[in-house]
Amino acid sequence: MSSADIYREIILDYYRNPRNFGKLAKFDIQSRDTNPLCGDEIEMQVKVGEGQKIEEIKFTGKGCAISQASASMLTELAKGKELGWVKELSKEDVFKMLGNPDLGPSRVKCALLGMKVLKTGVYGYLGANYEAADGSEG
């Protein structure tokens, strides 16, 4: 693992200037989770539009650069997609979005917290249970 590889310019940029950061006045999905290990927090709100599409999505949270950048990048990626896309989203998709950094096992959870929050919210909205991937198998 190389920290210079993990903390690339783009990760630091999303950490310091998170896109889609904030709250929605009207939303259909709200979901929040924390990573007790380091106290990362992510909350997401989604407004569902026609054709079960993500019309608007915002997040708030605090935590490490990886958790916050990952959540922010994910909101950008998710906007305009159908809810089914969220169900199909995999850990590998998130790692790819982050540029496939070589995260150690203890940091994988930081990277996946945003995905966990979004999936939990979307599954709940669709009336299903999301068995959260804890990412321990990294």
Partner 1 sequence: MLKTEAIDVKRIRGDFPILKRKVHGKRLVYLDNAATTQKPQSVIDALVRFYSDYNSNVHRSVHTLGEEATAAYEGSREKVAKFVGGSAKGLVFVRGTTEATNLVRFAWGDRNVKKGDLLVSTLMEHHSNIVPWQLLAKSKGASLKFVGLQPDGTLDMGSFEDLLKESPRLVAVTHCSNVLGTINDVAAICSKAKKAGAVTLVDGAQSVPHMPVDIGGVGADFYAFSGHKMLGPTGIGALLARKSTLEEMEPFHGGGEMIKEVFPDHATWNEVPYKFEAGTVNIADAIGLGAAVDYLSAIGMDKVRKHEVLLLQYALETLSKVKGFHAYGPEDLRKRGGVISFNMADVHPHDLATILDEEGIAIRSGHHCAQLLMRWLDVAATSRASFQVYNSYDDIDALKGGLEKAGAIFKL
Which residues in this chain contact partner 1 in the complex, by CB under 8 A?
1-4, 6-7, 12, 16, 37-41, 62-66, 104, 107, 110
Residue 6 or residue 29: which is nearer to partner 1 going by CB? 6
**How many helices (H) and strands (E) in the chain?**
6, 3
* Token pair for 83: 């809810």
Q: Which is nearer to partner 1, 63 or 121 (CB)?
A: 63
Nearer to partner 1, 124 or 138 (CB): 138
CA pair distance 20, 110, nearest whole angstrom: 18
d(CA 64, CA 116): 16
| Nearer to partner 1 among residue 57 and residue 63 (C-beta) | 63
Q: Closest CB to partner 1 among 39 and 84?
A: 39
Q: Which two tokens stand for residue 76?
A: 């950008």
DSSP state of 50: G
Q: How far apart (Å, rounded) are the C-alpha atoms in residues 13 and 32?
A: 23
* Minimum distance of partner 1 from residue 35's CB (angstroms): 9
Instruction: Give the nearest distance from C-beta 15 to partner 1 in angstroms.
Output: 8
Q: How far is the CB of 113 from partner 1 (least distance, A)?
A: 12
CA distances from 18 to 71, 112, 134 (A): 9, 16, 24
CB of 39 to partner 1, least distance (A): 5
CB of 103 to partner 1, least distance (A): 9
